[in-house]
Structure 1
Amino acid sequence: MEKATFAGGCFWCMVTPFDELPGIHGIISGYSGGSVENPTYEQVKKGDTGHYEVVQITFDPELFPYERLLELFWQQIDPTDDGGQFHDRGSQYRTAIFYHNQKQKELAEVSKAAVAASGRFDKPIVTEILAAAPFYAAEDYHQDYHKKNTKHYKEDREKSGRDEFINEHWKH
C-alpha cells in the first residue's frame, strides 16, 4: 500500500472522485502543510495556520497506479487558481500534490507539465508539488461527509461551480 495526498479545495469534494474505486483502500479528509500541530477545522478555516485541506488516499499501486490518481486529481480542480477553489476562497483551499517519495514527485511533475501543455487552460498552472508534510485527520464529522450529510453536500457542491468547471474543461 502507498499513500497519496492531494489538496483540491474543499476536502468534501475531493473524496467522492476516488471513493469506492478498485485498489483504493481508504480516504481520510485532513490538513497538511501548515505550522500548527493537530489543528482544528476552526483554526484551519481562518486561513492563518498555513494548512491546506487535503485528502490522504491509501491505495494499492498494482491495482490503481499513482498516475491514474494524478489524472483524476487534475480533473477535479482549477489548477490556475491560487486563491482557493471555486466558491471556497483562502489559502486553506489552494491546490497541491504532496508527494511521499521520489517516484511520486517525478510522476507529479510530468503530469503537471502535461496539463500545462494540454491547452485546456489560458492561465499558468499554479498547483504546487510539495514534499509530504505531517498529516492531521480532520474531525470525525468531516469524514465521509458526502455519505453522512448527502443533501447538504450535494447543495454545497452544486453552488460551488466545481461541476460546471469540470464539464467545461474536462468533459469534451
Structure 2
Amino acid sequence: MKVTYETATFAGGCFWCMVKPFDELPGIIKVVSGYTGGTKENPTYEEVCYGQTGHVEAVQITFDSEKMTYKQLLDIYWMQIDPTDAGGQFYDRGESYKPVIFYHNKEQREVAEASKRELNESGKFSKPIAVAIEPAGPFYSAEEYHQDFYKKNPERYNAYQHGSGRADFILKHWGERIEKR
C-alpha cells in the first residue's frame, strides 16, 4: 500500500511559535519554518522582516492524512493564534506576521472555510475571525537557525512564548497551558 502525504501551510505570527504545536504529533512527517505569499524568490529573514518581499512567516507541514486529518490540523492552528487580529500576532506586528491559512487544493479550501465559519459562529471570540484563506504559492524554507527553534533554544523559545503574550492568550481562550504541547 502506497502512503501519500499531504501538505498544509499556516501563517500565525512568528514561525518559531508555530512549529512545536504540530511537531511530533501522530501523522506529522515534518514541520518546516519558512516564507510564503510574497513576490521575491528565495527571500531572506531580513528582507521579510523589513517588509521588502510581501511574504509572511509560515510553517509548512507534511502529514499523513490517514493518521492526522487536515481538519485536525486546523483545530490545532486556531488554538495557536489570536484569530481576530489580522494585523499580526501578539508582539509581532505587520504584514509578515499576519495569520493566513494557505490551501493546497479545493478540499482544503472548503474545510478551512467551514472551520473558520464554525469558529466564528461558536461565540468564543467577541470580534469576528479575521484570518485570511488564500491559495498556496511557492514556499521557501527559512534559514537553518530558524528550524526547530524550540528544540535548539528552549529557554529563549519559552521566554518568547510568555513574553509575547501568546501563552497567556492560549490559556485564557482555550484553558490549556502552553507547556503541555
Match of 2:154 among 130, 146, 150: 150
Counterpart in the other structure of 1:170: 174
- In 1, Cα distance between the equivalents of 2:148 and 2:113? 29
- In 1, Cα distance between the equivalents of 2:135 and 2:151? 31
Q: CA RMSD in A?
A: 0.9
- After TM superposition, give the deviation of residue 48 of structure 1 in Å: 3.0
- After TM superposition, give the deviation of residue 122 of structure 1 in Å: 1.2
Identity of aligned residues (%): 59
Counterpart in the other structure of 2:105: 101
Whether 1:33 aligns to 2:43 is no
Match of 1:2 among 1, 6, 12: 6
Counterpart in the other structure of 2:48: 44
Match of 1:17 among 8, 21, 24: 21
For normalisation by structure 2, the TM-score amounts to: 0.93
After TM superposition, the runs of 4+ consecutive aligned structure 1 residues lying more than 3 A away are none
Letter in 2 for 1:106: E
- In 1, Cα distance between the equivalents of 2:92 and 2:42? 22
Structure 1 unaligned spans of 5+: none
SS in 2 for 1:152: helix
- In 2, Cα distance between the equivalents of 1:163 and 1:138? 24
- In 2, Cα distance between the equivalents of 1:144 and 1:10? 13
Counterpart in the other structure of 1:67: 71
Deviations 1:102-133 (A, max 9, x none): 10000000000001001011111110000001
Counterpart in the other structure of 1:76: 80
- After TM superposition, give the deviation of residue 17 of structure 1 in Å: 0.4
- After TM superposition, give the deviation of residue 154 of structure 1 in Å: 1.1
- After TM superposition, give the deviation of residue 158 of structure 1 in Å: 1.2
Structure 2 unaligned spans of 5+: 177-181
- After TM superposition, give the deviation of residue 75 of structure 1 in Å: 0.6
Match of 1:141 among 142, 145, 153: 145
- In 2, Cα distance between the equivalents of 1:111 and 1:11? 22
Deviations 1:13-46 (A, max 9, x none): 0001001001000000000000111000000011
Counterpart in the other structure of 2:165: 161
- After TM superposition, give the deviation of residue 169 of structure 1 in Å: 1.1
SS in 2 for 1:165: helix
- In 2, Cα distance between the equivalents of 1:150 and 1:36? 31
- After TM superposition, give the deviation of residue 94 of structure 1 in Å: 0.2
For normalisation by structure 1, the TM-score amounts to: 0.98
